[in-house]
């Protein structure tokens, strides 16, 4: 049942460096309501929510919470009033347990904590909303889907009335996402209000009651789910409709750009993560690696890029053994990496947007002026990528960390694709991107293939895998349970391989 107003934001505006990223926005949320907040990368979704939670102050406009004007003086004020947000970038402390994270910073726990009582209380919430989490587990050792739930549970324990979740499903598998949405439904049914930011239209229709669409800092509309369609929402977001079909033209394969022989790689905690893998990737082909997250894909990618030591085995790139080469050497040799972890691996967050864009090419002779760097030329190079990849932000001197989630991803993709490499290792390249940007990035990857580049695509998105791959490998517990041409096996069969069934044991 949808009840009275919890939140009313009236006429809210915000500018950064003279650029309006929220312009006179009106936004309301009621009890029991799940409202989706939709919009392209950089539309202003996270910024609007950051004002509701007191991270930023609006330049104009007022916010009312349960009918009263909100006055926020300190970070944390919104949370103690009952508005909590789970951010695009998680905020848990990795080396503490779930329980410690849940009670950490809880205003109620300033003095003495009665562990037994607190645990009983937390169990109560878990039962009410159908969470299954081991409170004594170390957060770093948990799969990302569970960590996400811990973040949400943390807000529930603080008894928020309004829960904001900013793209919570980007890092989840389909099952995990479905489960999370069921939990969001339970939470809303208990009378709380939820603001759900997502780029996935199917999720909007699965779980939301109403939808607000932002475009370039303007509110376009708020509509009830029953009264709209995915096409209409897409039109509102971008001003036009998108159609995503790809064709893979035949390419001339350049044999063995990458050759892996009997590769063994350990994970962080010393367990074998990659177990005796051997495979090749040719120029002009995309080899996708599908699998449930945490089955060795990231360790494999890290080993190929030199960011993780190889236990034993060989990596040959263009017929040269590069197993012992440093990450820097591999970059110069022509291996490109689009990592899954944008913030920690993808960029130097405190450095400017333009410095991040040139950081892998500035040593090239064409960017030198005598012994010095040709900054004019470098900035031009950066600006060209910004335009081509439509990276939206207030200025090229902005620290990369302040880009919107999707624009940060575009920065990395643009930087990597514009370098002329022979091998591209792309890990979840379209995570967090809006529909238009996703299509653009997928086409860019296809173009690389058509130009004869070798591509490894680690992805969890089957539209992407089936749409782009020449061959598909399925990884489970550090091994390939299947390696075959795209089209040879169905999604269902791939699902079985993902859960450990070897390809030979499948009936085709
Ligand atoms: N602290 C800041 N300083 C300067 N600019 C900022 C800051 N925070 C956000 N911006 C800019 O405001 C704009 C809107 O960003 P916001 O994060 O709200 O977008 P978003 O709709 O959440 O996009 P995404 O889907 O990519 O996460 C972007 O251009 C971003 O670079
Ligand atoms: Mg955002």
Share of the chain above pLDDT 70, in %: 97
Q: Range with the lowest mean pLDDT among 84-88, 109-113, 124-128, 471-475?
A: 109-113
Q: State pLDDT tens for residues 50-91.
A: 999 999 999 999 999 999 999 988 878 999 999 999 988 777
Q: What per-residue string of b and e applies to 398-408 under the rule 16 or more CB within 10 Å gives b?
A: eebeebbbbbb
Quick check: CB of 394 below 6 Å from ligand 1? Answer: yes
CA 264 to centroid of ligand 2, rounded, Å:
38
Centre of ligand 1 to C-alpha 407, Å, is 8
What values do phi and psi take at 278, rounded to 5? -135, 125
Q: Most confidently modeled of 10-14, 112-116, 136-140? A: 10-14
pLDDT digits (tens, 9 = 90+) for 247-268: 788 888 888 899 999 999 998 8
* Tokens 């070897």 belong to residue: 502
Buried b / exposed e across 346-360, counting CB within 10 Å, b at 16+?
bbeeeebbbbbbbeb
pLDDT tier at 221, thresholds 50, 70, 90: very high
Mutate to test the pocket of ligand 1, among 41, 46, 356, 430 (most ligand atoms within 8 A of CB): 46
CATH number of 242-334+420-508: 3.40.50.300
The Cα 303–Cα 309 span in angstroms is 6
Minimal-distance CA residue to ligand 1 atom 24: 41
**Cβ atoms of residues 14 and 58 within 8 Å:** yes
- Residue 268: the pLDDT is 83
pLDDT of residue 154: 93
- Kindly report the protein residue whose alpha carbon is nearest to atom 8 of ligand 1: 402
| Nearest CA, atom 19, ligand 1 | 42
Residue 12 confidence class, pLDDT cut points 50, 70, 90: very high
Residue nearest to atom 20 of ligand 1 (CA): 42
Q: Which of 43-47, 92-96, 104-108 has the lowest mean pLDDT?
A: 104-108
CA of residue 66 to ligand 2 center, whole Å: 25
Q: Indicate the pLDDT class of residue 240, thresholds 50, 70 and 90.
A: low
The topology under which CATH files domain 5-238 is Rossmann fold (3.40.50)
Confidence class of residue 110 from pLDDT cuts 50, 70 and 90? Answer: low
User: What is the gyration radius of the CA atoms in the chain, in angstroms?
Assistant: 24
- Is the CB of residue 170 below 6 angstroms from any atom belonging to ligand 1? no
d(CA 75, CA 91) in angstroms, rounded, equals 15
Q: For 345-397, what is each residue's pLDDT tens digit?
A: 778 888 999 999 999 888 888 988 888 888 999 999 999 999 999 898 888 99
Question: For residue 155, which of 170, 143, 165, 167 has the smallest C-alpha distance?
Answer: 165
State how far Cα 42 lies from the chain centre.
14
- Give yes or no for residue 392 CB within 6 A of ligand 1: yes
Atom 2 in ligand 1: residue holding the nearest Cα:
402
Beta carbon of 402 within 6 Å of any ligand 1 atom: yes
| 42 pocket-lining for ligand 1 (C-beta < 6 Å) | yes
pLDDT at 91: 79
Angle at Cα 166 formed by Cα 162 and Cα 168, nearest 5°?
105
Q: Do domains 5-238 and 242-334+420-508 have the same CATH topology?
A: yes
Structural domain boundaries in the chain: 5-238, 242-334+420-508, 349-419
Q: 46 in ligand 1 pocket by Cβ < 6 Å? A: yes
Closest Cα to residue 78, out of 158, 136, 18, 173? 158
What's the gap in Å between 166 CA and the centre of ligand 2? 7
Q: What is the pTM of this model?
A: 0.82
pLDDT at 460: 85
């Amino acid at each position: 049942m949808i009840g009275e107003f919890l939140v009313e934001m009236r006429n809210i505006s915000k500018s950064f460096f003279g650029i309006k990223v929220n312009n006179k926005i009106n936004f309301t949320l009621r009890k029991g309501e799940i409202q989706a907040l939709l919009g392209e990368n950089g539309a202003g979704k996270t910024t609007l929510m950051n004002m509701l939670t007191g991270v930023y102050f609006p330049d104009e406009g007022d916010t009312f919470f349960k009918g009263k004007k909100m006055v926020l003086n300190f970070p944390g004020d919104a949370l103690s009033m009952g508005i909590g947000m789970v951010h695009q970038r998680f905020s848990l402390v990795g080396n503490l347990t779930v329980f410690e994270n849940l009670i950490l910073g809880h205003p109620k726990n300033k003095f003495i904590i009665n562990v037994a009582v607190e645990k009983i209380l937390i169990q109560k919430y878990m039962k009410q909303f159908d969470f299954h989490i081991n409170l004594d587990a170390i957060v770093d050792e948990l799969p990302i889907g569970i960590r996400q739930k811990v973040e949400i549970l943390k807000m529930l324990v603080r008894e928020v009335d309004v829960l904001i979740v900013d793209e919570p499903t980007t890092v989840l598998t389909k099952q995990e996402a479905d489960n999370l949405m069921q939990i969001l439904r339970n939470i809303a049914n208990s009378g709380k209000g939820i603001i759900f930011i997502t780029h996935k239209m199917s999720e909007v229709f699965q779980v939301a009651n109403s939808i607000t669409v932002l475009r370039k800092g303007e509110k376009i509309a708020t509509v009830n789910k029953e009264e709209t369609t995915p096409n209409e929402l897409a039109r509102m977001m971008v001003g036009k409709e998108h159609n995503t079909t790809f064709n893979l033209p035949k390419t001339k394969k350049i044999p063995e750009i990458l050759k892996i022989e009997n590769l063994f790689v350990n994970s962080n905690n010393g367990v074998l993560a990659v177990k005796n893998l051997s495979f090749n990737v040719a120029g002009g082909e995309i080899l996708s690696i599908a699998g449930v997250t945490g089955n060795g894909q990231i360790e494999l990618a890290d080993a190929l890029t030199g960011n993780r030591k190889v236990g034993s085995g060989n990596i040959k790139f263009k017929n040269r053994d590069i197993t012992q080469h440093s990450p820097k050497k591999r970059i110069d040799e022509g291996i490109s990496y689009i990592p899954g972890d944008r913030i920690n691996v993808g960029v130097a967050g405190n450095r400017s947007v333009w410095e991040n864009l040139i950081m892998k090419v500035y040593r090239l002779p064409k960017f030198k002026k005598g012994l010095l760097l040709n900054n004019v030329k470098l900035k031009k190079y950066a600006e060209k990528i910004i335009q081509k990849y439509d990276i939206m932000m207030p200025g090229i001197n902005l620290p990369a960390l302040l880009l919107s989630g999707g624009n940060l991803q575009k920065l990395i993709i643009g930087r990597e694709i514009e370098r002329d490499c022979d091998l591209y290792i792309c890990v979840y390249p379209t995570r967090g991107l809006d529909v238009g940007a996703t299509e653009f990035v997928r086409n860019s990857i296809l173009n690389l293939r058509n130009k004869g580049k070798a591509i490894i695509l680690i992805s969890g998105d089957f539209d992407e895998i089936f749409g782009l791959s020449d061959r598909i490998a399925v990884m489970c517990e550090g091994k390939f349970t299947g390696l075959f041409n795209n089209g040879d096996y169905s999604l269902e069969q791939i699902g079985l391989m993902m859960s450990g069934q070897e390809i030979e044991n499948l009936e085709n």
